[in-house]
Structure 1
């Protein structure tokens, strides 16, 4: 169900948390005033912004798994622990999908990941998209007592647990509760695996940011090993005030007006991308204004009216889970 909604397009658009522009000039000034380390966002309005995104019709909110803040990387993600925050958002939003991009499986006990995912799936009424990864920060592994060079094997073992392929280890009558619909598994990168293994075992691909031309090549690989399974990627966006401003590319994204963004997204759709998550940490304008502009000027081009009607019905029918 969540995978269907993610790809009910032609191209759907979500947001990568945190919803803060701490990598912009105004954000940098605010960070210095607050005496926050670089890469640690301002979360004072995190809930209101997530709820606004939900109300405006962004298809998914994506959370990263950053167990350890390391100043050499300079990125704390959304700060809050992944599954704890997912549970909070499940009770605080109504229609947006909730995705992990991505849970670092070798650093987590897979049976507990499965229980946490089932809990979020139940509390969110099946809105979870479980993105998983092998991890790419070597400094974290010694702290967790996990050999970095064995993360590929640990990833495969964890996937077996998440998919129920290791249930023979349970004794008669044992079960992991709550019972819930198994969330789709999407992999970030290749997770130290062969492309054919990824295509066979995963339900979708979380591809690293790139240009439309980059995605043409990557989508071709994905389609060869995975058929029509969803292909997802991300853009670090600085949305210019002038809708006609020409694109200026930076690492992982671009600064561009809304008309140029529509052209960029259209090219990605033509390349075979099914969903794009927008990261707004570089945007110079206030986050609330940017969300409103995106919802007014960009989302209607790509999100079908039928899906909007379906979401409105869902919003009326679904009740919040108790906090």
Structure 2
């Protein structure tokens, strides 16, 4: 296993954050969006850098960003807005320790060599903090706009995985290379099955990015994952609204829940026991200020689950000035 995955799963379980760093899915956030003239599902990014730094300093293990190439009002979600690799490069410059993950890059609509170059660039500039989540995509409207065929996305996914694995050396004519070269193999985490057989996924992927669910949901999914992938990491997410009262009971909704930190701690214990290796917390439904929420989780929750970190990063050879 490589260093970023070792760090992600150190101690057997860890907690991260999923961007965008805004609570725009709350009534107050939606009113602010309308007043600012932002599209439905378009977050407020004014404080994203400060919140990313706070997440890093607070000890969250990873910061995850999604790849949404085009805004589609029928989906109503622009994700974190920025182009995923450009944004990861920026985040690499404003953070120090937190792992930087994609959840997930849609490989078949991207130019393969440029994807490799982008990933290698972020790996180098971040000091080897990149976790590359990949997917085949599920929005048919995007494919013809990128001159790609939706029906053949599964085979294109396999081809790009192979290219990412060998760093382009089997694709390029003699004497040509993609620079910067990969410092070590990229940790490839798959969202869903990416139009592949489970056995292929288990053999070729380094971890699973699973849809949110209850501990029982994950227990069943993990059994299927373990059958084809053994002990490789299983990662998921929670849409969280952390109540101010620590003892407020849990109220579940699709993909997450509202509740106090006691309910969050119980849920995380149950997820760890089910076999989940990492949980990313998603805060767009969170009604409290995000910095206040981050501080509470850092003080009362992270110490229960995170062991003392060991810095296994490769030192960055570039320096950002931001």
TM range (shorter): over 0.9
Q: Give the match for residue 42 of structure 2.
A: 40
Between the aligned partners of 1:245 and 1:274, the Cα distance in structure 2 is: 26
Deviations 1:140-161 (A, max 9, x none): 1121111111111111111111
Deviations 1:228-277 (A, max 9, x none): 10000000001111111111111111111100000001100011000000
Q: Which residue, 303, 310, 319 being the options, matches 1:321?
A: 319
Q: Which residue, 13, 20, 23 being the options, matches 2:22?
A: 20
Indicate if the aligned counterparts of 2:64 and 2:103 stay in contact, CA closer than 8 A. yes
Q: Does 1:224 align with 2:227?
A: yes
Q: Give the match for residue 285 of structure 1.
A: 288
Q: Give the match for residue 158 of structure 1.
A: 160
Q: Give the match for residue 58 of structure 2.
A: 56
Indicate if the aligned counterparts of 1:118 and 1:182 stay in contact, CA closer than 8 A. no
Give 3-state SS (helix, strand or coil) of 2:161's partner: helix
Indicate if the aligned counterparts of 1:90 and 1:321 stay in contact, CA closer than 8 A. no
Deviation at 1:167, TM superposition (A): 2.7
Q: Does 1:249 align with 2:268?
A: no
- The RMSD of aligned alpha carbons is 1.7
Q: What's the TM-score once normalised by structure 2's chain length? A: 0.95
Between the aligned partners of 1:169 and 1:14, the Cα distance in structure 2 is: 36
Q: Give the match for residue 271 of structure 1.
A: 274
Q: What's the TM-score once normalised by structure 1's chain length? A: 0.95
Indicate if the aligned counterparts of 2:93 and 2:320 stay in contact, CA closer than 8 A. yes
* Unaligned 5+ runs, structure 1: none
Between the aligned partners of 1:22 and 1:280, the Cα distance in structure 2 is: 9
Between the aligned partners of 1:184 and 1:69, the Cα distance in structure 2 is: 28
Between the aligned partners of 1:264 and 1:165, the Cα distance in structure 2 is: 40
* Unaligned 5+ runs, structure 2: none
Indicate if the aligned counterparts of 2:23 and 2:290 stay in contact, CA closer than 8 A. yes
Structure 1 stretches of 4+ with a deviation exceeding 4 A read: 317-320
Deviation at 1:172, TM superposition (A): 1.8
Q: Which residue, 295, 298, 304 being the options, matches 1:295?
A: 298
Indicate if the aligned counterparts of 2:189 and 2:207 stay in contact, CA closer than 8 A. yes
Q: Give the match for residue 236 of structure 2.
A: 233
Q: How many residue pairs were aligned?
A: 318
Deviation at 1:48, TM superposition (A): 0.4
Between the aligned partners of 2:226 and 2:319, the Cα distance in structure 1 is: 38
